[in-house]
Each structure stands twice: as structure tokens, then as C-alpha cells.
Amino acid sequence: MNISIISFVTLLILICFCVTPKKMHIFEIIFILLVVWLLDHPISWIIYVNLSLIKVSTNLGDFWAEVFDRLVLLPLLIMVFFEVILRSNRTATKCIILCVGILILVLDEYALLKMGVLENVNWNIFYSLIEKGFVVLVPYFLWGRYRRKIF
């Protein structure tokens, strides 16, 4: 059941992302996708396995729901946030978009905890804010440098 909910939300966001006109080039999208994958996957497993703050459910369906969330939904959400940032001109608006994006990612993790995909061991919202902030801000600054280099 959990994987169907996550798949539905991902498909809905993916369709919205594909039909809207984009200001980002395909290479920028691939760059963001790869950077988010390289940051999010090791960090999440350090938190899950080494620090034991959150535990992934032993149910196979829940495990695949978590993998699908980490590998597809989170990078897709981050690309949507960056696309919205490209459409804004003011620095304050960009900061607000980044903060709202981090909060949405934390809410996604909280929803996974409530659905039973993740199990709470020593989960703290501040640790989650730090993790999601790192996963959003590092690709943002790297993307900014990449964009200045290319364009």
C-alpha cells in the first residue's frame, strides 16, 4: 500500500514537471539528479545504519517504497524547487523557496515514519532538518557554480 501511495505522488509530480516549460537545460537536470543521488544515498544510509536514528522496515514493500522515495521522489522535488528558483528574481524569494523545500522534504520523511516505511529509533526533527538542508543546499551551490561555468 505504501509503495502505491509514493508511486502515485511521484507520478503526479513527474507529470507536472514534464508538462511545465523549463528554464533548466537537460544537462543541468542531469547534474542536479546525480549530485542529489551522490549526497542523499550515502547520508541516508549513514543515518540509518551507523547512527541508528531511523530504521528501515523489514517488509520488502516498505523497503522498495523507501528506495523509490530516495532515488526518484526526492531528486524530483529538488529539481522542481530549483526550477521555481530560476523563475524568481529576488534573493529573499529564493531563500524562502529553499527553506520551504527543506521543510517539504522533512515532511516527506515524517510521512514515511507515520506510514511505517521507516521506524523511529531516535529520530529528531533537527537532525532531519540538518540532513535535508545539506542535501538541498550543497546541490544548490554546486548548481549555481555549474550554471555560471556553462552560461
Question: Quick one: DSSP state of residue 48?
Answer: I
- Whether the predicted pLDDT of 8 surpasses 90: yes
pLDDT of res. 45: 83
pLDDT digits (tens, 9 = 90+) for 21-80: 999 999 999 999 999 999 998 888 888 878 888 888 889 999 899 989 999 999 999 999
- Write phi, then psi, for 107 (nearest 5 degrees): -65, -35
pLDDT of res. 53: 86
What average pLDDT score do residues 73-101 get? Answer: 95
pLDDT digits (tens, 9 = 90+) for 133-148: 999 999 999 999 999 9
Q: How confident is the model at residue 1 (pLDDT cuts 50, 70, 90)?
A: confident
Annotate 23-45 with DSSP letters as a single string.
SS-HHHHHHHHHHHHHHHHHHHH
Q: Which residues pair with 55 in a beta bridge?
A: 119
pLDDT of res. 41: 87
Contacts of 135 (CB under 8 A, 6+ apart): 36, 39, 40, 43, 74, 78, 105
Please give the model's pTM, rounded to 2 decimal places.
0.92
What average pLDDT score do residues 5-13 get? Answer: 93
The closest of 116, 103, 133, 79 to 2, measured between CA atoms, is 116
- Whether the predicted pLDDT of 151 surpasses 80: no
